[in-house]
Structure 1
Amino acid sequence: MPTRLTRGQLAALVDHTLLKPEATAAKVAAVADEAAQLGVCTVCVSPSMVSHAIHAGVPVAAVAGFPSGKHLSGLKAREAAQAVEAGAAEIDMVIDIGAAVAGDIDAVRADIATVRAAVPDAVLKVIVESAALLTLAGEQALVDVCRAGEDAGADFVKTSTGFHPAGGASVAAVALMADAVGGRLGVKASGGIRTADAALAMLDAGATRLGLSGTRAVLDGLG
């Protein structure tokens, strides 16, 4: 049976997100206020913007190594640590997608572990760019990366940054990721989810968190 949720129940699964590079401090503050009004789980912003989001009383998530994942692991770790020092409760880090495509899962695992060690008390979500991995390396690569995230101490695996040309979340990717982690980690679907039907489809496929920038429109679409 398809998932049926109330507006409040769906909102509680959402990271209300603003990661556009042109985002101003004022816009981030307004999005944080909107997050409080909507009753979402967190507001997700760039690390430099954490201080402009914490006033609203909603837990703040910040990204690290965003959006390319090509940062040195130590820099990702420091970025994550500084975001937590500023008040972030959750970190969404981007893996080195090229390492995953090349099959160097040990490097991916070590990258995640470095960030995990820097923010031991934060919720850690690992962005795997599922669309790119499926296109360039296949299903097993996506499975292997999700399991590397689990090995390295992540709390969630996350589909996408929303900035990669290969695309965002898909039902197929979410189902594969959910199966790979077997309920031991959360699964965050993010990137291109713009309707209530799409959001519910991701949850039916195994997502336990949603990253949305158009949260109000999705919630309004529940009917």
Structure 2
Amino acid sequence: MDKKEIISLIDYTLLKPTVSKEEIITFCNEAIEYGFNTVFVNPYYVSLAHSLLSSHNIKVGVPIGFSLGGVTTQTKVEETKESIKNGAEEIDMLINLGALKSKEYDFVRNDISEVVKASEGLMTKVIIETGLLTKEEKITATQLLVEAGADFVKTATGFNGGGATVEDIELLRSLVGKELGVKAAGGIRTYQDVIDMVNAGASRIGTSGALAIIDSIQDQNNFLRW
């Protein structure tokens, strides 16, 4: 994959809790310089990022229920609505992990469905935090988000341990087929990581290390299996 193809797959992220306004401005300028399609910032900075990026046709995405997922459904819904009002164009929501572990599957499905509805047709991805789940829980979580109408399944936040693995991406892709997207996120730091994830079935990559990845790309030829 060449540099342009890699850039088109990446969601460039800056979600650390201590990020300053000045860092967001620098981050947005980097997104413009490198030509990323989408960036992700915390809800507080959506309006600022949108004001800096909208004229460059760069979407601002927002994490909902970040980074633990345990807030109420109504809180997630209101956070989604306010973020959209402020300029967010993609939604990455975190599943309620406690409810999933408690086998409260109707609640989990509804939690996702209500955010999907509040997103009003915008791209909605559901983070299932694969590093904290058994294989059976990964399968169940993916089935629930499909039933709830989400557009993507996403591996991880990168804040709760674990991250994207080739095995998990292969599993998630096998579960959703070609109908839904699979976003690999958490611990993706190198060009080879990106290639491995895409070969395993990822259609989007989330990383805060996007610049280092792009800058490391040489004239390499890599064959994509998927």
Q: TM-score category by the smaller chain?
A: over 0.9
**Cα distance in 2 for residues equivalent to 1:26 and 1:109:** 38
Report SS of the residue matched to 2:13: strand
Is 2:16 the counterpart of 1:20?
A: yes
**Cα distance in 2 for residues equivalent to 1:36 and 1:92:** 22
Query: Hey, what does 1:129 align to over in structure 2?
Result: 129
Is 2:180 the counterpart of 1:192?
A: no
Query: Hey, what does 1:111 align to over in structure 2?
Result: 111
**TM alignment of 1:1-223, pairs within 5 A:** 5-54=1-50, 55-56=52-53, 57=56, 58-133=58-133, 138-165=134-161, 167-223=162-218
Query: Hey, what does 2:223 align to over in structure 1?
Result: none
**Cα distance in 1 for residues equivalent to 2:178 and 2:28:** 30
Deviation at 1:221, TM superposition (A): 2.4
- Would you identify which runs of 4 or more consecutive aligned residues in structure 1 move more than 3 Å? none
Q: Is the 8 A contact 1:103 1:141 kept in 2?
A: no
Report SS of the residue matched to 1:43: strand
Provide, for residues 12-50 of structure 1, a one-character-per-residue CA deviation record: whole Å limited to 9, x for no partner.
Answer: 110000000001122112111111211222010101110
Deviation at 1:104, TM superposition (A): 2.3
Deviation at 1:110, TM superposition (A): 0.7
Report SS of the residue matched to 1:77: helix
Amino acid of the structure 2 residue aligned with 1:157: V
**Cα distance in 1 for residues equivalent to 2:174 and 2:24:** 35
- Unmatched 5+ residue regions in structure 1? none
- Unmatched 5+ residue regions in structure 2? 219-226
% same residue: 38
Q: Is the 8 A contact 1:169 1:189 kept in 2?
A: yes
Deviation at 1:102, TM superposition (A): 2.5
Report SS of the residue matched to 1:53: helix
Deviation at 1:222, TM superposition (A): 2.3
Deviation at 1:148, TM superposition (A): 1.1
Q: Is the 8 A contact 1:42 1:60 kept in 2?
A: yes
Deviation at 1:121, TM superposition (A): 2.3
**Cα distance in 1 for residues equivalent to 2:177 and 2:95:** 21
**Cα distance in 1 for residues equivalent to 2:175 and 2:107:** 19
Report SS of the residue matched to 2:16: coil
**Cα distance in 1 for residues equivalent to 2:14 and 2:111:** 25
Report SS of the residue matched to 2:163: coil
